[in-house]
Chain A
Amino acid sequence: MKILKKIIVLFIIFMLTGCFDYKELNNLAIITKMAIDKNGDEFEVSFSIENTKSNTESNIIYTAAGKSISEAINNIQLTLPKKIYTGHLSIIIINEELAKNNLNQLINYLIKSKEYSQNFYLALSKDKSSKETINEISNLETKLSKNILSDINNEITFSDFLKTLIKPGIDPVLPVITIKDNTIDVSSTLALFNNYKLVAFSNENQSKGINLIYNKTKEMIIPIKSDNKNIATIKLSNINTKTKIKNNTIININIKENYTIKEINYEIKKQTINEIKNKTKNEIKKLIQEGIEISKNNDIDIFGFGNMIYKNNASYFNKIKDTWGTEFKKINPNIKINLITDDNLQQTTIKENNNS
């Protein structure tokens, strides 16, 4: 009898919970991409929802506007037959206006909603509204996958973004998606933030430099001009950047990379190799300096040099914390580049000579 009573009590406890969080898969609208636009006072939220009605892989875009983000999402829910499910959200794209205005509201919303996984990527859409951007991406993407994101060189997840916001002495960066003539460009521009506000866009060379310092570039192709006609194309691989700090203010950037001469349209000699090598070094140096330049011009520290100083000597950093914007401009990192030749370089060059 005692056991029977226990079983009855357990049974009642179970039944009273009533499957609080129960949802069947076919009742979920699985959202893969989300776009948030700010137009004046209104937020416009668009969802790209995976079509699960048939086996053909396609996305459907739903859009609604509202005074706040939650209101806009709620308005979408009203038009949807299924429940919005954001657990597999892969990317949120925001437009320029929202970024320039203030990201505070969006981030607040995302942190407080437990249905987001914080592992999605954040990106900015330039020129076009983010709604158009996800529409374009959905049309271009034919497979059931997130392959657009694998193209983003400098992919930044929401949690990464949050970390850079919170840490002292570092300012966040977001990748920018631009669409021109049915091609998606995700790596040539970066959006630089000062706290919650967008301050500038970097151009292609600056982005390359920034990504080099971030140690996010693993491979790179650089054309080297020796004079007007002659061009050698250098492929850099296994790029490894190490940023170190010495004596509170001296920052060393060491880059180690393998290089191969991919293509060349003139005869190659021993001294030309050395020449190419030096020019490559200079080219990389130039890229990096351009990257640092744009950061300095906007009074922000996207590389986290301040954070490195903070980690190295917190009390020293606290002293200069308030004037870090100007202090940062004084820092000129030493750049060391170590090019390693592939062993079969000689052979490949000879081969290429014979072919040409």
Chain B
Amino acid sequence: MKINNQINEVEKYIKNKYGSSSDIITRRIKINDNEILYIYLESVSSDDKISGFLMKDLSKYVNNQKEIKTPLINLLKNSILNSHLSIIDTYEQVFYNLSSGYTIIFINGEKNAIAIETKSILDRSISEPSMESTIRGPRDCFTENNATNIGLIRKRIKDPNLWFKETKIGKRTKTKINIVYIKNIANIKKVKFIENKLKKINIDGIIDSGYIREFLTQNSLSAFPEFRSTERPDVATAELLEGKILIMVENTPQVLITPGLFIDFFHTSEDYYQKPINITFTRILRIIGFFITLCTPGLYVALTTFNQTIIPYELLISLSIQRNGVPFPTSLSIFIMMIVFEILREADIRLPNAMGASISIVGALVLGDAAVSAGIVSPIVIIIVAITSIGSLIFNDIDFVNAIRLWRLIFLIFSTVLGIPGFVIAGIIFTINLCSMESNGIPYLTPISPFYPKAQTDVITRFSKKKMKYRPVYLTKNKKRIED
């Protein structure tokens, strides 16, 4: 809808639209014979800026008795010293700009209006990452502010080929979404594909990057995430240089990385800041940890209730002594303890920091000692659940951890019913599930299956940077990372 050229009408219309909200401020000033109206929302605008730019610049004309020849709009446009100045002519733009913290100047008899940036800072400053903590490496972290997030990447890659494609999604929230990529590294087809998918989203609001992820997910039935999300700008930068594509969502400190492959969840930013040999060992540890956290409860139940022959003799006797007087079946007691642990974890996340200590005391006592002495579970079950839950803490992506949790349960159920054969069946289903997944057109298990020999420099082993000459072939056609 076009702006009315009568400021009385405009004022009435806007106030009406905002329901005369308490934060809407309007003011009229007479310049010569003409009258101008400026409107801003107090809550999102900075009073200092408005006084600083607008009032100072306008005051030149207010007391000026000289006749002005040029139209007032051009005069204002050229004289207000604000870098974010734009001419708008529809009410949609007016509302968007108002809510974003702009001040809009309407001139009586003029169909266009001037929008100038007078945002107040409503974001927290850059802080240390809370989820992905490392020992080495930079300590900054994405914030809720879109411009800050872009800046954190831009200052790391000083190349004009780093492109940010912005779209606004959400009928009401009008959230800025940026597709970030390096033009001559990333696969442009993939960028277009994401762009088209984003355009199709017709939702009233985007609150978090999780919303976008759900719209872009191809395998909605799979528990494993297809997007890696990070709050570390250094991770984002490294992934951009590999040829991956980022999706930044306004008001979200988590940036989505696509494609998010299975092996990516085993990598951390620190892997590239430490010595390669040690990192290879760490990665093997992570893989062992993954299998421990996934399989231990199922394997334990299968072995102790069906296939006891595999257990070493001494251990069998010791386990048998431990189980004396425990009323519940092994699988049930493992299930109970797993549920108790998950409840504790959930409570720990939701609880205010001050109460965290009490939870850990209760948890340690209830989980550890009391359950055994009360005869509800055997000590070995505590060990199993403890090693399982500790194993899952290796991964910092909460979606990945939760996916492991689901599959752990499936392994447990299959093992409870069929023993080792059931465990193997669950394993087969698990593998099929992973193999059938795709992340943005790339098989989820790449580069292990399909196997890319040249990409193996950075999968489980990490070679020294001198030897990591090439970018992964499945991500980019621009292969060379190190020029000869």
- Check if A28 sits within 8 Å of B305, measured CB to CB: no
Interface assignment of B308: CB less than 8 Å from any CB of chain A: yes
Contacts of B316 in A (CB 8 A): 25, 30, 88
A28 to B304, CA, bound (A): 11
Contacts of A30 in B (CB 8 A): 316-317, 320
Contacts of A88 in B (CB 8 A): 308-309, 313, 316
Distance in Å: Cβ of B134 to nearest Cβ of chain A: 40
Q: Which residue of B lies closest to A21 (CB)?
A: B306
With most chain B CB atoms within 10 A of its CB, the pick from A53, A54, A88, A144 is A88
17 A–B contacts from the bound complex (CB under 8 Å): A3-B221, A14-B413, A17-B417, A19-B305, A22-B306, A22-B419, A23-B306, A25-B308, A25-B320, A28-B308, A30-B317, A30-B320, A85-B308, A88-B313, A90-B313, A144-B314, A145-B313
- Check if B317 sits within 8 Å of A50, measured CB to CB: yes
A53 to B317, CA, bound (A): 10
Interface assignment of A117: CB less than 8 Å from any CB of chain B: yes
Interface assignment of B469: CB less than 8 Å from any CB of chain A: no
- Check if B416 sits within 8 Å of A52, measured CB to CB: no
- Check if A19 sits within 8 Å of B313, measured CB to CB: no
A145 to B329, CA, bound (A): 28
- Check if A52 sits within 8 Å of B321, measured CB to CB: yes
Contacts of A87 in B (CB 8 A): 308-309
- Check if B417 sits within 8 Å of A14, measured CB to CB: yes
A240 to B26, CA, bound (A): 105
The answer, among B221, B305, B325, B413, for a CB contact under 8 Å with A22, is B305
Contacts of A146 in B (CB 8 A): 313
The B-contacting residues of A in range 269-304, CB under 8 angstroms, are: none
The A-contacting residues of B in range 409-439, CB under 8 angstroms, are: 413, 416-419
The answer, among A17, A19, A24, A145, for a CB contact under 8 Å with B323, is A24
Interface string of A5-39 (1 = CB under 8 A from B): 00000000010010101111110101010000000
Distance in Å: Cβ of A3 to nearest Cβ of chain B: 8
Q: Would A26 and B419 be within 8 Å (CB), given that A55-B321, A88-B316, A145-B314 are in contact?
A: no
Interface assignment of B330: CB less than 8 Å from any CB of chain A: yes
Contacts of B309 in A (CB 8 A): 87-88, 117
Q: Would A19 and B308 be within 8 Å (CB), given that A24-B323, A26-B323, A50-B317 are in contact?
A: no
The A-contacting residues of B in range 189-215, CB under 8 angstroms, are: none
How many chain A residues touch B (CB < 8 A): the figure is 26
A168 to B57, CA, bound (A): 112
- Check if A28 sits within 8 Å of B321, measured CB to CB: no
A19 to B413, CA, bound (A): 11
A88 to B313, CA, bound (A): 7
Q: Would A26 and B308 be within 8 Å (CB), given that A14-B417, A19-B416, A50-B317 are in contact?
A: no
- Check if A23 sits within 8 Å of B314, measured CB to CB: no
Interface assignment of B319: CB less than 8 Å from any CB of chain A: yes
Distance in Å: Cβ of A13 to nearest Cβ of chain B: 9
* Total A-B residue contacts, Cβ distance less than 8 Å: 65
- Check if B314 sits within 8 Å of A28, measured CB to CB: no
Contacts of B416 in A (CB 8 A): 19
Q: Which residue of B lies closest to A20 (CB)?
A: B418
A264 to B326, CA, bound (A): 63
A residues in contact (CB < 8 Å) with B: 3, 14, 17, 19, 21-26, 28, 30, 32, 50, 52-55, 85, 87-88, 90, 117, 144-146
- Check if A25 sits within 8 Å of B313, measured CB to CB: no
Q: What interface size band does chain B fall in?
A: 20 to 34
- Check if B313 sits within 8 Å of A26, measured CB to CB: no
- Check if A26 sits within 8 Å of B326, measured CB to CB: yes
- Check if B321 sits within 8 Å of A54, measured CB to CB: yes
The A-contacting residues of B in range 282-330, CB under 8 angstroms, are: 304-306, 308-309, 313-314, 316-317, 319-321, 323-326, 329-330
- Check if B419 sits within 8 Å of A21, measured CB to CB: yes
Distance in Å: Cβ of B31 to nearest Cβ of chain A: 68
Distance in Å: Cβ of A147 to nearest Cβ of chain B: 12
A88 to B316, CA, bound (A): 9
- Check if B418 sits within 8 Å of A17, measured CB to CB: yes
Contacts of A55 in B (CB 8 A): 321
Beyond known contacts A21-B306, A22-B306: 17 more, CB 8 A cutoff: A3-B221, A14-B413, A17-B418, A19-B305, A19-B416, A24-B329, A25-B319, A26-B323, A26-B326, A28-B320, A30-B316, A50-B317, A53-B321, A53-B324, A55-B321, A87-B308, A88-B309
Q: Which residue of A lies closest to B325 (CB)?
A: A26
- Check if B317 sits within 8 Å of A144, measured CB to CB: yes
A26 to B418, CA, bound (A): 19
- Check if B323 sits within 8 Å of A25, measured CB to CB: yes
- Check if B324 sits within 8 Å of A26, measured CB to CB: yes
A123 to B416, CA, bound (A): 38
Distance in Å: Cβ of A17 to nearest Cβ of chain B: 6
Contacts of B329 in A (CB 8 A): 24
A30 to B324, CA, bound (A): 14
- Check if A52 sits within 8 Å of B313, measured CB to CB: no
Distance in Å: Cβ of A18 to nearest Cβ of chain B: 8
Distance in Å: Cβ of A307 to nearest Cβ of chain B: 31
Distance in Å: Cβ of A141 to nearest Cβ of chain B: 13
Contacts of A28 in B (CB 8 A): 308, 320
A26 to B325, CA, bound (A): 8
A53 to B330, CA, bound (A): 18
Q: Which residue of B lies closest to A86 (CB)?
A: B309
Interface string of B311-352 (1 = CB under 8 A from A): 001101101110111100110000000000000000000000
Contacts of B317 in A (CB 8 A): 30, 50, 52, 144
Contacts of B320 in A (CB 8 A): 25-26, 28, 30, 50, 52
- Check if A24 sits within 8 Å of B313, measured CB to CB: no
Contacts of B306 in A (CB 8 A): 21-23
Distance in Å: Cβ of B411 to nearest Cβ of chain A: 14
A87 to B316, CA, bound (A): 11
The answer, among B304, B314, B325, B417, for a CB contact under 8 Å with A19, is B417
Distance in Å: Cβ of B324 to nearest Cβ of chain A: 5
With most chain A CB atoms within 10 A of its CB, the pick from B317, B325, B418 is B317
Interface string of B153-188 (1 = CB under 8 A from A): 000000000000000000000000000000000000
Contacts of B313 in A (CB 8 A): 32, 88, 90, 144-146
Q: Which residue of B lies closest to A18 (CB)?
A: B417
A55 to B306, CA, bound (A): 24
A52 to B322, CA, bound (A): 9
- Check if A23 sits within 8 Å of B305, measured CB to CB: yes
